[in-house]
């Protein structure tokens, strides 16, 4: 049977045939017509553009000349079986152009039948896919990269230490694990859909609502510090930054925050330490000036009492003036203790021995309705401290605890060895790393709130009623501990009692079996038995009134006085005189030249002269901690008898 061309022979309508031919030839789809054996009988112009082969090069040829080698025999066999069965084959092919390049094509091959239904040829339509495939590949790569970026972003958000969450219409849409942890949620699911304002502290809700409105209006807002409320009701300080965000199709707000509670706590501790340091300097300066004034009152009071005698009608009044001066002197001593400017006499101590000695007195001080318990570490290390001052620390803390338990309770004093690490030091400004001995005093009293704790060691701060305390007890404790190189901290809460912890540096030196106790203070008075002498004393005191009374006391005791108002005057006097001088009595803190400096210069010229220092706060010139090894010293304010005995002691010591 002779096969006819599928285009037919002798088109009945030349015009229509011409129009269809032009449309096929000029269309974007490549057209190829083959006979039943697969030989090419017709191609259009688009075929040449797609394959690079012109009609003259392919007519009579088999389309296999376009094979690229990208498809195996099974692929072509399946194609042919489909066509032989009279079905349309549709698929993608990679063919080779005339120039050797490969092009992706989408093809539709349709069998053409005659009137009897016999397949007489095939019509193939070619649509070039190379550009589209390249675009799809690029899009696919971009999508894969985007998915990778999204996955990376998701991991980064999930692993970020900062809290990150997204909210819309006032409710949580997304939160990372850090958000759940900082807000006290078991997992992020506990937050989803919950109102965002539930985590905002009531004091900040109005401000946060205003910031949200600004963000929704496209106004940028700076990071701020505020407070969040955790699920358990506790409050944390946070630093928050927020910006507008689209969560899918929904307008939302993305929030970044971090917990700064620890930083705020450390900042508060640092501010407190700086404030205490400033108050200490102020207290020390006030105490120094008051000591000079009290010294004048005390000195003239002693002389006046001696002059008028005990039977004089005014003797009682002068005695009351002296008692008031003594009380004022006691207050200044406490201020000096707080400001770390008192003289210490440190020795190697076993705190257990000190605690046991003080315990006898404590039982009388705290009363029968307070139960005292001692918990002492038998292997306790030694410390270097002034035993009298440490006893004062324990007593002051015990008295403070007793006042917190008006209806009775329990008081525990304990000791143990500890090692303070850098973590402790970082969170407790003022402490130092290393081996320490801890002395803790705990009570079961009414406790203290945070506001009270912030002021607890400040001079004159007290929660007691008028006339029930000076507010210097804990300030004195603070100063003694600091001057001893230690650290003191307190933990308390309303209704939960309080614990004061004192940390003193531990020393390897073994402490003696018994520590000397503090002597009871004695208020001396000038009397007939007060020792005097006839030696020459060079007095240097820049406070005129104190200079005058000191000179008068010493001259009435028989001494010859060379009184100077300052170091320059004293050096000039020595340079112009060869008169022998037995003792230099000098103030420590003076303008332009301190006592130790002028003493060294005088001793360079007069090496046999004795030196007695006097001051209200000696550590300014004699040592960073006020420790005076091998130095003769008398603390202002002093009584006439105390001065005369000290002068005699120095002169007799040679």
3 falls in which pLDDT band (50, 70, 90)?
very low
Over residues 296-310, the pLDDT tens digits come to: 888 888 888 888 888
Q: Rounded to whole angstroms, how far apart are CA atoms 220 and 5?
A: 75
Residue after which a domain boundary falls, among 234, 259, 284: 259
Over residues 361-420, the pLDDT tens digits come to: 787 778 778 888 898 998 899 998 888 788 888 888 888 888 888 888 889 999 999 999
Number of CB atoms found within 10 A of residue 307's CB: 10
Q: Which has the closest alpha carbon to 540: 565, 559, 560?
A: 565
Query: Is residue 331 helix, strand or coil?
Result: helix
The CATH number of residue 498's host domain is 3.30.565.10
612 falls in which pLDDT band (50, 70, 90)?
very high
What domain range includes position 332? Answer: 267-336
pTM for the model: 0.42
Please give the full DSSP string across 578-607, using - where no structure is assigned.
-----EEEEESS-SSS-HHHHHHHHHHH-T
Q: Rounded to whole angstroms, how far apart are CA atoms 305 and 312?
A: 9
The CATH number of residue 174's host domain is 3.30.450.20
- Per the DSSP assignment, residues forming a β-bridge with 545 are none
Same domain, 424 and 355: yes
Residue 497 in domain: yes
Same domain, 218 and 278: no
Contacts of 2 (CB under 8 A, 6+ apart): none
Q: Which has the closest alpha carbon to 255: 188, 152, 157?
A: 157
Q: Which residues of 31-41 are buried (b: 16+ CB within 10 A; e: fewer)?
A: bbbbbbeeebb
Contacts of 324 (CB under 8 A, 6+ apart): none
Over residues 49-100, the pLDDT tens digits come to: 888 888 888 898 888 888 877 888 888 888 888 888 888 888 888 888 888 8
Residue after which a domain boundary falls, among 259, 281, 312: 259
Residue 141 in domain: no
Residue 520 in domain: no
Decide if pLDDT at 8 tops 60: no
Same domain, 474 and 426: yes
Same domain, 81 and 220: no
Same domain, 232 and 362: no
Same domain, 98 and 122: yes
Cis peptide before 637 (omega within 30 of 0): yes
Residue after which a domain boundary falls, among 199, 230, 259: 259
Residue 193 in domain: yes
Arithmetic mean of pLDDT, 13-19:
55
Q: Rounded to whole angstroms, how far apart are CA atoms 620 and 594?
A: 9
Over residues 205-261, the pLDDT tens digits come to: 999 999 999 999 888 889 999 999 999 999 999 999 999 988 877 899 999 999 988
Decide if pLDDT at 20 tops 70: no
Q: Which has the closest alpha carbon to 104: 74, 82, 136, 80?
A: 136
Same domain, 323 and 220: no
Same domain, 51 and 112: yes
Structural contact between residues 621 and 596, judged by C-beta atoms closer than 8 angstroms? yes
Number of CB atoms found within 10 A of residue 305's CB: 21
Residue 113 in domain: yes
Phi/psi of residue 235, nearest 5 degrees = -115, 140
Phi/psi of residue 471, nearest 5 degrees = 80, 15
Same domain, 377 and 495: yes
429 token code pair: 């400004």
Arithmetic mean of pLDDT over the chain: 80
Over residues 93-126, the pLDDT tens digits come to: 888 888 888 888 888 888 888 888 888 888 888 8
Residue 196 in domain: yes
Interstrand relation of 583-587 and 487-492 (parallel, antiparallel or unpaired) = unpaired
How many residues in total does the chain contain? 654
Same domain, 358 and 245: no
Q: By percentage, how much of the chain surpasses pLDDT 70?
A: 79
Structural contact between residues 590 and 567, judged by C-beta atoms closer than 8 angstroms? yes
The total of structural domains in the chain comes to 5
Decide if pLDDT at 543 tops 90: no
Q: Which has the closest alpha carbon to 434: 449, 448, 417, 450?
A: 417
Over residues 322-369, the pLDDT tens digits come to: 888 877 776 666 565 554 455 556 788 899 998 988 887 787 778 778
Residue 462 in domain: yes
**Which among 149-153, 288-292, 363-367, 525-529 has the top mean pLDDT?**
363-367
* More confidently predicted of 573 and 161: 573
Interstrand relation of 610-615 and 633-635 (parallel, antiparallel or unpaired) = parallel
Decide if pLDDT at 173 tops 60: yes
Same domain, 357 and 484: yes
The CATH number of residue 291's host domain is 1.10.287.130
Decide if pLDDT at 507 tops 90: no
- Per the DSSP assignment, residues forming a β-bridge with 31 are 125
Residue 368 in domain: yes
Same domain, 498 and 363: yes
């Amino acid at each position: 049977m002779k096969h006819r061309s599928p285009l037919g022979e002798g088109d009945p309508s030349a015009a229509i045939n011409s129009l269809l031919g032009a449309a096929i030839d000029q269309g974007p789809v490549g057209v190829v017509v083959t006979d039943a054996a697969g030989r090419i009988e017709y191609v259009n112009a688009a075929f040449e553009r797609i394959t690079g082969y012109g009609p003259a090069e392919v007519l009579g040829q088999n389309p296999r000349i376009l094979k690229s080698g990208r498809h195996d025999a099974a692929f072509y066999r399946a194609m042919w079986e489909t066509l032989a069965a009279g079905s349309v084959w549709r698929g993608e092919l990679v063919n080779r152009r005339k120039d050797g390049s490969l092009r992706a094509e989408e093809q539709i091959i349709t069998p053409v039948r005659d009137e009897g239904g016999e397949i007489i040829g095939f019509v193939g339509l070619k649509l070039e896919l190379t550009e589209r495939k390249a675009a799809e590949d690029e899009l696919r790569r971009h999508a894969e990269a985007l998915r990778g970026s999204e996955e990376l972003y998701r991991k980064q958000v999930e692993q970020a230490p900062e809290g990150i969450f997204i909210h819309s219409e006032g409710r949580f849409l997304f939160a990372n694990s850090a958000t759940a942890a900082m807000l006290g949620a078991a997992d992020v699911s506990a937050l989803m859909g919950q109102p965002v304002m539930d985590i905002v502290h009531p004091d900040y809700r109005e401000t946060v609502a205003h910031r949200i409105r600004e963000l929704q209006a496209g106004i940028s807002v700076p990071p701020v510090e505020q407070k969040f409320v955790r699920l358990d009701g506790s409050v944390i300080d946070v630093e928050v930054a927020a910006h507008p965000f689209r969560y899918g199709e929904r307008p939302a707000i993305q929030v970044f925050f971090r917990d700064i509670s620890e930083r705020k706590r450390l900042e508060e501790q640092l501010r407190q330490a700086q404030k205490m340091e400033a108050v200490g300097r102020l207290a020390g300066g006030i105490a120094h000036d008051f000591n000079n004034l009290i010294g004048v009152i005390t000195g003239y009071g002693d002389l006046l009492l001696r002059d008028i005698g005990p039977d004089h009608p005014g003797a009682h009044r002068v005695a009351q003036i002296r008692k008031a001066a003594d009380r004022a002197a006691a207050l200044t001593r406490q201020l000096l203790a707080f400001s770390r400017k008192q003289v210490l006499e440190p020795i190697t101590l076993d705190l257990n021995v000190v605690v046991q000695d003080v315990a006898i007195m404590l039982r009388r001080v705290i009363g029968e309705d307070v139960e005292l318990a001692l918990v002492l570490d038998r292997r306790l290390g030694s410390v270097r401290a002034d035993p009298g001052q440490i006893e004062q620390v324990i007593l002051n803390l015990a008295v403070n605890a007793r006042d917190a338990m008006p209806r009775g309770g329990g008081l525990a004093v304990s000791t143990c060895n500890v090692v303070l690490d850098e973590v402790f030091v970082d969170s407790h400004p003022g402490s130092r790393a290393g081996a320490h001995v801890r002395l803790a005093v705990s009570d079961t009293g009414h406790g203290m709130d945070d506001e009270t704790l912030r002021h607890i060691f400040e001079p004159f701060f007290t929660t007691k009623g008028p006339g029930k305390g000076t507010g210097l007890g804990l300030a004195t404790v603070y100063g003694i501990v600091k001057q001893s190189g230690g650290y003191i901290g307190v933990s308390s809460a309303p209704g939960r009692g309080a614990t004061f912890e004192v940390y003193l540096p531990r020393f390897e030196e073994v402490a003696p079996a018994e520590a000397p106790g503090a002597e009871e203070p004695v208020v001396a008075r000038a009397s007939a038995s007060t020792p005097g002498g006839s030696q020459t004393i060079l007095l240097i005191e820049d406070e005129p009134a104190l200079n005058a009374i000191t000179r008068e006391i010493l001259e009435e005791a028989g001494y010859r006085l060379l009184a100077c108002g300052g170091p320059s005057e004293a050096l000039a006097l020595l340079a112009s005189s060869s008169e022998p001088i037995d003792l230099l009595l000098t103030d420590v803190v003076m303008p332009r030249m301190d006592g130790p400096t002028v003493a060294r210069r005088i001793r360079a010229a007069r090496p046999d002269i004795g030196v007695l220092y006097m001051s209200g706060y000696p550590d300014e010139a004699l040592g960073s901690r006020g420790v005076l090894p091998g130095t003769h010293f008398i603390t202002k304010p002093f009584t006439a008898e105390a001065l005369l005995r000290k002068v005699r002691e120095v002169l007799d010591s040679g």
